[in-house]
Structure 1
Amino acid sequence: MLDAKIKFFDIKRCGYYRRGESTVSLSNVNDTLEKLNAWATDGRDFANTTCYQPDPDNDLLNTYFCGWSQNATTKDSLLVLWNQVPNDNGVIYGMNPSVPPGVTAMLSTDFGSTPAIPGAPSYIWIIPSKNVFATIRFTHSVQGKINLDHYINGFLQNKSPYRVKNSEGKVIGFSRTGQPTQESAKIHPKFEAYTRKQEELEAELITNINKISKIIKRETLIYTAESDRKIFERVFSKLLPNAPAFSQPRTISHELQFSPTESELKSIIKNFGELGQDTFINNAGFVYKNGKTIMLSGTNVAFSHSFSITRGEKELISPHILLNAVTQDRADLLRPLDQPAFVVEEAA
């Protein structure tokens, strides 16, 4: 058995669109993945499966194609990418956890004389029938959502067979045949995905933004943690001589008068949706002037799951094997998608 963390995202756009329009003009999720697989497996080397220009100054390194598999019945598919990590000409550094702060000596590991691209895999389960995908993160892998965004957008823009080029090889548009048409210069590629149900929540809150009077945040506190203990002490200050010692975690709510701008509102929703499962923040939300509270807990469809598969030492999980395991548990894995986009707490 292998334990993994699953997180779902809604696919808003995937293909080619006329500017200003949301209806796709060319291609779709399945077609994009099929074209990507055909391009990446046409005999090229692994190193030549990159699709975009990296930006090391902003920590965006290369992404490479490892494999893809599709279920003929459900049309679900499993994409495996390789996400390059920072390195010094193939050398990866570490620090001894037992040394005091200030020590400058680093530990290192490298691949000897074997050429290698240091990195970690990411596993993406795509479900076109529901217009969603899920990242599947194991202990040996990364989530890879940001890299996926750049990779698919890079493929659509730079590697797709739908590109229309001029005599100098510059991309000047896109068409089904790759030849210029009256429409080819008017459409552009776009892959866009958001944390599951984020848009539905945004619509509710933006529509009622003038009604928002407070923000609320709920945290889990552990008495044995020094920073948490100070919060307990502050809560009971001047009420008891000493704060009680709690053996179990406790939840504390913070409520603050706050009228967000639309930009602030979207940022809070986005950042909450990207929180990991190990965060101390239990929930967050907004209180309307009538006392109605909209909590954000429904936006982040993320959970743990154990798959009936094994992984060889120093090996990736093949997309075919992982897709079979996902298909076997498909009904259970998709059930959380039926959760509401947000939780409403009516005023007492």
Structure 2
Amino acid sequence: MKGTLQYYDIEKLGIYKRGSDEQLFDSSEAVLDSLIGWFKKRPSLVNTSTREADKAIGQSNVYCYDIDGANGEYVFVLWNELTNADDEILTISKDSKPGSAKVKSGVDSKTVIPGLPSYYWVSLNHDLVATLHFDHAMTSLVALRNYITGYMQNYSEFAVTHKDNEDKVIGYRHPDNKEGDVGFFKFDLKRKTDESTIEELTQKYSKITKIVRRTQKQAQDVELIGWFHNLASKAVGRGLPKAKDVHVEVELDFTPETERDFLDIVAAYQKEIIDPDKYNNLGFVLKGESGRKVFLDGKYLRTEHDFEIKRAGKNPFGAPELLDYIGTKQVRLVPRKPKKRKAA
């Protein structure tokens, strides 16, 4: 079965000293092993959710179908609920006439959880997280981050609560050190940039004619709202709704004077893309390539692989099965490390 892997660097995962990048103790593996232990004690799947979704604002409940881990390698199989605020999933007949279709409730959400699986590989040995997408599944990096963070806040043995309010978490520490220092839990990921593309562009830096930036902004600024409204008013009479993220692409005429200038721009971008869920990309247009835009996050860090494992009917892959497979294929699945660049 073909699957697509998208890779992210683990910047931080664990419990850190206040105001420091140093872990309070060796906590990355301890956190994930603790979550597995908690999962195995859940009486039923509905009890595996780590935070209650606010469906009124479009959130969905996320449950854990399966987890497994060994020697710093972990696989999560989450179950993403697909229902509305009334816990319903609705259907209409394909043969209905437009404008007069009758809507029916598709499933009994009191007894089942309609949804789709999502798959994740967390490798502490290679400091990466990979989302694994298959045709029968969905992909949501934020679901994994929220799931692990929700566990730490609401169920973990590491959480330290306020002495007068047990619902208020004031920090985290090792459960065997009741009087020890309290730190912060962090799970920060960064989208991997495409090193092979950077190498190619570095060799062709003198042919760069434009720099292209894709990002997202909230249309709250008065000038920004006005600009978008004027741009789209003929097509969209009511303009843009306020407080909504909008995608922006900006092109500027630009040619780096030196290779160092180009690499400095790349380095600045790499420091900024701390939230991999955001629409955020940097690209370039080269002379003689018909205006084609070459972006940094594309070719080599989103890879396809033919997974030699089979599902049992409609069931998702089991975490142990997927973990064992990844273990045997790591040489093919782990992206190569970038070469050290010579100083320009």
Tell whether the structures are fold-level matches, with TM greater than 0.5: yes
Which residue of the partner structure matches residue 175 of structure 2?
A: 177
Amino acid at match of 1:28: S
Post-superposition offset of 1:329: 2.0
Tell me if 1:159 matches 2:158.
Answer: no
Whether contact under 8 Å (1:274, 1:300) holds in the other structure is no
Post-superposition offset of 1:93: 2.9
2:313 aligns to what SS in structure 1? Answer: coil
Which residue of the partner structure matches residue 325 of structure 2?
A: 325
CA distance in structure 2 between the aligned counterparts of 1:69 and 1:271, rounded to whole angstroms: 26
1:85 corresponds to which of 78, 82, 96: 82
Post-superposition offset of 1:95: 5.7
Which residue of the partner structure matches residue 304 of structure 1?
A: 304
Which residue of the partner structure matches residue 9 of structure 2?
A: 10
Matches within 5 A, 1:215-234: 215-216=211-212
> Which shows bigger deviation, 297-306 or 139-148?
297-306
Post-superposition offset of 1:45: 2.5
Matches within 5 A, 1:63-212: 63-72=62-71, 75-87=72-84, 89-94=86-91, 103=99, 105=101, 108=104, 110-112=106-108, 115-165=111-161, 166=163, 168-170=165-167, 171-177=169-175, 180-181=178-179, 183-184=181-182, 187-197=183-193
CA offset digits 1:5-46 (Å, max 9, x no partner) = 111111111111233212221353322211001112114322
Normalised by the size of structure 2, how large is the TM-score? 0.66
CA distance in structure 2 between the aligned counterparts of 1:265 and 1:131, rounded to whole angstroms: 20
1:24 aligns to what SS in structure 2? Answer: coil
CA distance in structure 1 between the aligned counterparts of 2:40 and 2:333, rounded to whole angstroms: 30
Amino acid at match of 1:54: A
Q: Call closer, same or farther: CA 1:62–1:300 in 2, change over 3 Å.
A: farther
1:16 aligns to what SS in structure 2? Answer: strand
Q: Call closer, same or farther: CA 1:38–1:86 in 2, change over 3 Å.
A: same
CA distance in structure 2 between the aligned counterparts of 1:59 and 1:138, rounded to whole angstroms: 24
Post-superposition offset of 1:271: 9.4
RMSD: 4.3
CA distance in structure 1 between the aligned counterparts of 2:105 and 2:81, rounded to whole angstroms: 16
Which residue of the partner structure matches residue 235 of structure 2?
A: none
Post-superposition offset of 1:63: 1.2
Which residue of the partner structure matches residue 39 of structure 2?
A: 40
Whether contact under 8 Å (1:15, 1:190) holds in the other structure is yes
Whether contact under 8 Å (1:90, 1:111) holds in the other structure is no
2:166 aligns to what SS in structure 1? Answer: coil
Post-superposition offset of 1:110: 2.7
CA distance in structure 1 between the aligned counterparts of 2:109 and 2:54, rounded to whole angstroms: 27
Q: Call closer, same or farther: CA 1:90–1:158 in 2, change over 3 Å.
A: closer
1:129 aligns to what SS in structure 2? Answer: coil
Query: Sequence identity, in percent?
Result: 24
Q: Call closer, same or farther: CA 1:103–1:305 in 2, change over 3 Å.
A: farther
CA distance in structure 1 between the aligned counterparts of 2:253 and 2:96, rounded to whole angstroms: 45
Q: Call closer, same or farther: CA 1:286–1:14 in 2, change over 3 Å.
A: farther
Residue ranges of structure 1 left out of the alignment (5+ in a row):
203-211, 219-253, 276-280, 288-292, 343-348
Residue ranges of structure 2 left out of the alignment (5+ in a row):
199-207, 215-249, 256-264, 287-292
Q: Call closer, same or farther: CA 1:120–1:26 in 2, change over 3 Å.
A: farther
CA distance in structure 2 between the aligned counterparts of 1:58 and 1:214, rounded to whole angstroms: 39
Whether contact under 8 Å (2:119, 2:133) holds in the other structure is yes
Post-superposition offset of 1:134: 0.7
1:91 aligns to what SS in structure 2? Answer: coil
CA distance in structure 2 between the aligned counterparts of 1:193 and 1:341, rounded to whole angstroms: 22
Whether contact under 8 Å (1:93, 1:106) holds in the other structure is no
Post-superposition offset of 1:136: 0.7
Task: Tell me the number of residue pairs that the alignment of Structure 1 and Structure 2 aligns.
Answer: 278
Q: Call closer, same or farther: CA 1:298–1:147 in 2, change over 3 Å.
A: same
Normalised by the size of structure 1, how large is the TM-score? 0.65
Whether contact under 8 Å (1:197, 1:299) holds in the other structure is no
CA distance in structure 1 between the aligned counterparts of 2:176 and 2:123, rounded to whole angstroms: 28
Q: Call closer, same or farther: CA 1:6–1:94 in 2, change over 3 Å.
A: farther
CA distance in structure 2 between the aligned counterparts of 1:21 and 1:286, rounded to whole angstroms: 39
Post-superposition offset of 1:295: 4.6
Whether contact under 8 Å (2:209, 2:284) holds in the other structure is no
